[in-house]
Chains A and B, each alone.
Chain A
Amino acid sequence: MSKSLLIARRELSSFFSTWTGYIIIAVALIIEGLLFNAFAIGSTPKYSADVLADFFYFASGISIVAGLFLAMRLVAEEKQTGTIVLFNTSPITERQLIYGKFISAVLFTVIFLLMTMYMPALIFVNGKVSLGHLSSGYLMLLLIGASAIAITLFASTIAPNQLIAGILGAFLIVSFLVLWIVSDVVDDPFKKLFTYLALHNMHFNPFAKGIVHTRDIIYYFSVSFFFLECSVRALEARRWRG
């Protein structure tokens, strides 16, 4: 675990010692602010809880896209620049490397989410929302962001460069997002399967309304764990392929 934290610390500091971290945070905050102003608050009167639910709806999309941009470079860049050799010749496991990278991106997401808190704080000050609703919404943003990171991290592990990792990651994420639409045009048991596997719809809506289901938390943890372990296996296979 200490090796994972060592890698996470270096990775997190690299986000802030280059432009990458600042650009991702700035762009995400601007877009999120605009969406909050234009759609969540809007021009018609709303209940505070609805404003907050709309905010979480848009913020979830931003978290997913930010996760994609954060994770696409994590392993692909190491392969491109040759720094992956450092890990390949050090006494660490592929799992420690992958989880270290994942932790760094999740911590970055936490920092980013903390910076968005001024928006719900405005609702909190000027309206009436519960802390429980706020907490569940932010928990969802973190879980869905972490899932996007894990999916893209897998893409980053198997792709030869960042661009392909980004494209592959986006493809996988969009595939998981649209499964709930696909579920509308198929019959059981695929309907149930696709509805359950969809990244956003069934598992997102309760959180946005302030309802936390254990099954939804387990779902997001499962998605992250599955793709992290796929990444570990893909890295281990590199020892055979070279």
Chain B
Amino acid sequence: MIVVENLSKHFGSKHAVDQVSFQILDNEIVGILGLNGAGKSTILKMLGTFLLPSSGKAMVAGYSVIDNPDEVRRNIGYLPDLPPLYNEMTVVPYLKFVARLKDVPVNKVLSYVDEAIEKTNLSEAVGVKLGALSHGFRQRVGIASALVHKPKVLILDEPINGLDPVQIVGMRDLVIGLKSDHTVILSSHILSEITKTCDRILIIDKGTLVAEGSEQELARGIGQNMKLTCEVDNLSDNLRNALDEIPEIKTIDVMGPPNARARLVLETTADVRSKVAGAVVHSGTDLLSFTSENAGLESLFMKLVGTDHQKGDLSE
């Protein structure tokens, strides 16, 4: 659906994007991850046809962003970091205007608008002026405007920027729900969100693509550790010994006294969840909770984007 080859954009002597290549398949959700100023938005602007590349090529839905921008525009929905809303308008007239702008036939405008409102759960905001809507609803209207003409590709630039935790969950569900009908490419500098929403991640640093793949592929590629956390009712020596025998476990941090309720944080070099679960069961210990996370992805990201950004804003 999207093919990018050696795409570059230079502003004077500054290389905002440098020789980036990637492909995105139909109905994939792909996230572009990078620190602020890494070049994420510049890539999306070029795919959105409102910034011309300095060199390289980009095809969206089979059309070149340089040679056939109008065809590309018919096939994309673009949501910038600030949704392009007219504060004095209400939802329906605004979406009708956008639909007409995007070449939706006059007799289909109303049904397309209704569908966009339904998809983005905007029915309760229909009569409110856009300027009076909360940030979360404004983002939803922005997404509705991006998909009102039923484009094949949705380009979302920092869609969760400025949202509160509840709105972030809502936005995540909304984006995941769009996957059945659209190919989605979105950008973010928030690692945790992009891993929860996207099938694949492109990591951009200083305008270049430094890694791509699924969360697992990225973690595997660099031999990243997995972090397992077990909460047990009665930490026995049996369990400690059983865990010590699992070679993939690098470190065991115990929080809590022996023979009492305790939390074990295990850092592993591979996915050994079944082995750990087995060890707990065989030791006769009561398991209260068991969670796993690829904690290493954050350090992977820091490693990929270099040490200059160690104090970056990933922790948001």
Query: Is B152 close to A, CB under 8 A?
Result: no
The reply to whether B42 and A242 contact each other, CB–CB distance below 8 Å, is yes
Q: When A85-B50, A86-B101, A91-B70 are in contact, do A242 and B80 touch as well, CB less than 8 Å?
A: no
The reply to whether B89 and A17 contact each other, CB–CB distance below 8 Å, is yes
* Nearest opposing residue in chain B for A17, CB measure: B88
Query: Is A217 close to B, CB under 8 A?
Result: no
Bound complex: CA of A14 vs CA of B97, how far in Å? 13
Q: Which residues of chain B are near A7, meaning CB under 8 Å?
A: 101
Interface residues of A in 109-123 (CB under 8 A from B): none
* Nearest opposing residue in chain B for A96, CB measure: B101
B273 shortest CB reach to chain A, Å:
44
Q: When A6-B100, A6-B101, A82-B82 are in contact, do A90 and B88 touch as well, CB less than 8 Å?
A: no
A204 shortest CB reach to chain B, Å:
36
Q: How many residues of A contact B (CB 8 A)?
A: 24
Q: When A14-B86, A90-B73, A239-B50 are in contact, do A85 and B100 touch as well, CB less than 8 Å?
A: no
Indicate with 1 or 0, residue by residue over B68-107, a CB within 8 angstroms of chain A CB atoms.
0011011010101011111111000000011011110000
Bound complex: CA of A242 vs CA of B45, how far in Å? 9
Q: How many residues of B contact A (CB 8 A)?
A: 31
Query: Is B277 close to A, CB under 8 A?
Result: no
Bound complex: CA of A81 vs CA of B88, how far in Å? 13
* Nearest opposing residue in chain A for B76, CB measure: A89
Q: Which residues of chain B are near A81, meaning CB under 8 Å?
A: 82, 84, 87
Q: Which of A3, A6, A18 contacts B88 (CB 8 A)?
A: A18
Interface residues of A in 41-60 (CB under 8 A from B): none
Indicate with 1 or 0, residue by residue over A205-242, a CB within 8 angstroms of chain B CB atoms.
00000000000000000000000000000000011111
Query: Is A37 close to B, CB under 8 A?
Result: no
The reply to whether A88 and B42 contact each other, CB–CB distance below 8 Å, is no
The reply to whether B48 and A88 contact each other, CB–CB distance below 8 Å, is yes
Q: Which residues of chain A are near B70, meaning CB under 8 Å?
A: 91
* Nearest opposing residue in chain B for A242, CB measure: B51
Q: Which of B11, B42, B48, B85 contacts A89 (CB 8 A)?
A: B48
The reply to whether A91 and B78 contact each other, CB–CB distance below 8 Å, is no
Query: Is B262 close to A, CB under 8 A?
Result: no
The reply to whether B101 and A3 contact each other, CB–CB distance below 8 Å, is yes
Q: When A240-B52, A242-B42 are in contact, do A91 and B86 touch as well, CB less than 8 Å?
A: no
Query: Is B145 close to A, CB under 8 A?
Result: yes
Query: Is B8 close to A, CB under 8 A?
Result: no
B86 shortest CB reach to chain A, Å:
6
Query: Is A87 close to B, CB under 8 A?
Result: yes
Q: Which residues of chain A are near B87, meaning CB under 8 Å?
A: 81
A13 shortest CB reach to chain B, Å:
8
* Nearest opposing residue in chain B for A20, CB measure: B88
The reply to whether B86 and A89 contact each other, CB–CB distance below 8 Å, is no
Bound complex: CA of A10 vs CA of B80, how far in Å? 21
Q: Which residues of chain B are near A14, meaning CB under 8 Å?
A: 86, 88-89
Indicate with 1 or 0, residue by residue over A1-23, a CB within 8 angstroms of chain B CB atoms.
00100110010001001100000
The reply to whether B88 and A92 contact each other, CB–CB distance below 8 Å, is no
Q: Which residues of chain A are near B145, meaning CB under 8 Å?
A: 86
Query: Is B49 close to A, CB under 8 A?
Result: yes
Given contacts A83-B86, A85-B50, 13 further A-B contacts (CB under 8 A): A10-B97, A81-B82, A82-B82, A83-B84, A83-B85, A88-B49, A88-B50, A89-B48, A90-B73, A91-B74, A239-B51, A239-B52, A242-B11
Interface residues of B (CB under 8 A from A): 9, 11, 42, 45, 48-52, 70-71, 73-74, 76, 78, 80, 82-89, 97-98, 100-103, 145
30 A–B contact pairs at CB < 8 A?
A3-B101, A6-B100, A7-B101, A10-B86, A18-B88, A81-B84, A81-B87, A82-B80, A82-B82, A83-B84, A83-B85, A83-B86, A85-B48, A85-B50, A85-B80, A85-B84, A86-B98, A86-B101, A86-B145, A87-B101, A88-B49, A88-B50, A89-B48, A89-B49, A89-B50, A89-B76, A91-B103, A92-B101, A239-B50, A242-B9
